[in-house]
Amino acid sequence: MTADLRTRASDAAIAREQAVAASNYAPLAVVLERGRGEWLTDIDGKRYLDLMSAYSAVSHGHAHPRLVNALMQQAHRVAVTSRAYHTATLAPFLEKLVALANLGPGSRALPANGGAESVETAIKAARRWGYRVKGIAADRAEIVTARGNFHGRSTTIVSFSTEPAYRADFGPFTAGFAHFDFGDIASLEATINENTAAVLIEPIQGEAGIVVPPPGFLAAVRKLCDARRVLLILDEIQSGLGRTGRWFAYQHEGIKPDGLILGKALGGGLLPVSCFVATAELMAVFEPGSHGSTFGGNPLACAVALEALQVMEDEQLVARSAALGSHLLSRLRQLRDEQSDALITAVRGRGLWVGVELNPALVRARAVVDRLAERGVLTKDTHETVIRFAPPLTIAREALDWGIDVFAGVLAEFHPAPAHEVGRVTALSPTRRTMNQPRPSAPVSTPATPRARLMMSAPDHFEVSYRINPWMDPAQWHVSAERLASDAQRGWTALRHTYERLGAAVEVQPAVKGLPDMVFTANSAAVLDRKVVLARFLCPERQGEEPHNRAFFEAMRARGVVDEIVPTPQGLFFEGAGDAIWDRTRGLLWTGYGQRSSHDMQFFLAETFGVPAVALELVDPRFYHLDTCMCVLDGGEVLYYPAAFSPTALALLDDMVGKDRLIAAGDEDALHLAVNSVCLGQDAVFCYASDTLRAQLTQRGYRVHVVALDSFNRSGGAAYCLTLRLDRSTRDLPERETFVEEDLLDLRRAA
């Protein structure tokens, strides 16, 4: 088929649609016919990369086979009955959703169709709560919303929109709404009054151009709402369900709303499904007859939505969003930093949800979007200046990189690329360090504030007295027990001094006779955001350590070093930071399973810490903890030993980390436990490093420090095993979890 015939076919289809469809959209000139994964195909057979995913409605990719199968199976049973009757699918769906939202005991959900319907549900709930619970005078309740908001297009919702195009000639408008400046806590504080029932906001404003509030803003809003007896309702129709690299965007700041509005991705890209999830107190305002929806919660929608949630969990899509989102932001910011003219004025977002703001004096965003479509990449502009990137969470890293390359090439057409750019469209200036170029060298010094807070357990009674892994041989240890014990003490002391020389503060746990493996402190717990998840050991030989570890952490809590101690649930086994490694670059927790820690610990850790977790299967008995075969370096690279992982785990690492940031350790290093290392900024502490490994790390800008730990190697441990980091944080917030008045003052000053 010739190009002219293809053009005529598309033009004819567009003309046919325009003849009968209302002119409330101005779509791009493509006619889509099929979709699979992150790819769409038009009626002429041309393929396009989908970087919009229907405003997050297609987060699972197009025609996900599990979702299509769930749809077909349920459609053959029963599709719609109305809520006049109970159905077999509603409870499982709502149970799963309520558990994920985790808004407290007795919280419930009210299902609907499109997202605007659930926004209306939230408005009704907030108003009734204001009258019946807070005691606001009749018909005086107000809901505070942010300027620049987008919550839908019903007449009530456009009543509190501040976008003129959404309101023009649609009045008279519904009263009872007030506005504040998004991200400005002082503006919100001034807007709330005695009649305020709720604050209704998007955690990140989508239609406004992916506007991210300043760090700490949501936590301050939560604090303010609590102080003023006001509900906090979050519209996460776009930001929820993995889009920002968390199940819900509010988890980035460790808060919980009173009400949560969800939609779009909940329907798996197949059906309109939305839900209002709220606390027991808020949801108690509804009784039979007070609210309803003919199609809301129908069996077909519930079956698909439940499977959509399960697929997100099984395919670790939240973690993929965090990892690939970090990569997307990094590459787009490189484009911004390396441009010859100020074509890109801002790059902002979280996870796989990014807005690139363009200089309107140099280019129209719609012109860029049209040019991208011509080259096979579909996205959309907003407010005439912002290009949105929101691909399916299932997108392959290679496809994402190709889409960014096309975007870079299109921008270059509007302003020619600098002369130094060669090869890959996004080649960097020689003055800018790439991921594989060395960092500038800096002298090692001890800062006034501790660079890191670490925990180590004294090796006073360390010996190999039993065999619970292939490295351990009590018979060989006993041949020279005194010398090996002396070597262990010397190596441990040298390691501690190395940390302290590099600026770390070290907490020392006293040794306990009869528990030689207590020295491997990393296995005692995982610590993140000053919260401790205690180990539960699979091997009976180590179970005696558990009460002593708890006692030491309790003492640290009393001194204010940590805030909360959480036991691992009965029925699960978990060997602490040995099988749970925080990756700050990608905003996720890598977990190991298959030998010492349970597979389902990933879910408990994700819920406890409020971060995505990725489960990696370990298959080599010599590398029984994740820390023996994987080390996340502070620059974002990952050192790993491929033979220790299952093929599925290797695929996850390749996809989420990327080949350019993976450093494969060879047999020599792995068998000397070199991967079991500790990274403090540019300083990497090893028990062994081959010349090859040293060269790789030095080339990437790291300073390598080697401390011989041969005695500990005989038990299967090395530097990381002997060390537990206590100060890892998921957020750039003050150390304390609770906001106080000083924090509000800081945010006011920032605004």
526 SS3 class: strand
Sequence-ordered list of residues with C-beta below 8 angstroms from that of 551, at least 6 positions apart, any chain: none
Of 184, 235, 258, 381, which residue is the catalytic one? 235
Give the whole-angstrom CA distance, residue 46 versus residue 395. Answer: 19
- Residues contacting residue 254 through CB under 8 Å, at least 6 positions apart: 219, 529, 610, 730, 731, 737
Alpha-carbon distance of 667 to 629, in angstroms, equals 11
Q: Which single residue is written with the structure tokens 């505070």?
A: 144
C-alpha separations of 387 from 136, 182, 379 in Å = 43, 20, 7
> Active-site residue among 184, 256, 258, 264?
264
Q: Are 301 and 560 in contact (CB under 8 A)?
A: no
Amino acid code (one letter) for 161: S
- For residue 222, with 0-12 CB atoms within 10 Å meaning exposed, 13-18 middle and 19 or more buried, which class applies? buried
Tokens of 516: 């030689």
In one letter, which amino acid is 611?
V
Give the count of beta carbons closer than 10 Å to the beta carbon of residue 409.
Answer: 16
Catalytic, out of 150, 180, 609, 686 = 150
CB atoms within 10 A of CB 738: 11
- Asked whether 51 and 376 are in contact (CB, 8 A), the reply is no
Query: Could you say which DSSP state residue 721 is in?
Result: T
Amino acid of residue 347: V
Name the β-bridge partners of 36.
Answer: 39
Pairing of strands 32-36, 344-349: unpaired
Distance of alpha carbon 31 from alpha carbon 33, whole angstroms = 7
Q: Is 235 a catalytic residue?
A: yes
Quote the CA–CA distance of 531 and 712 in Å, as a whole number: 28
Which residues are CB-neighbours of 226 under 8 A, at least 6 positions away? none
337 in catalytic set: no
| 150 has catalytic annotation | yes
Q: What single string gives the DSSP state of each residue in 610-642?
A: TS-EEEEEB--TT--SGGGTEEE-TTS-EEE-G
- The one-letter amino acid code at 259 reads G
Helix (H, G, I), strand (E, B) or coil at 228: coil
Cβ-based burial of 490 (10 A; exposed 0-12, middle 13-18, buried ≥19):
middle
Q: Identify residue 412 by its one-letter amino acid code.
A: A
193, containing H or E segment: none
Which residues 6+ apart lie within 8 Å of 453 measured at CB?
A: 504, 505, 507, 561, 725, 726, 727
Percent of the chain as helix, strand, coil, to the nearest 5: 40, 20, 45
Q: Name the residues annotated as catalytic.
A: 150, 235, 264
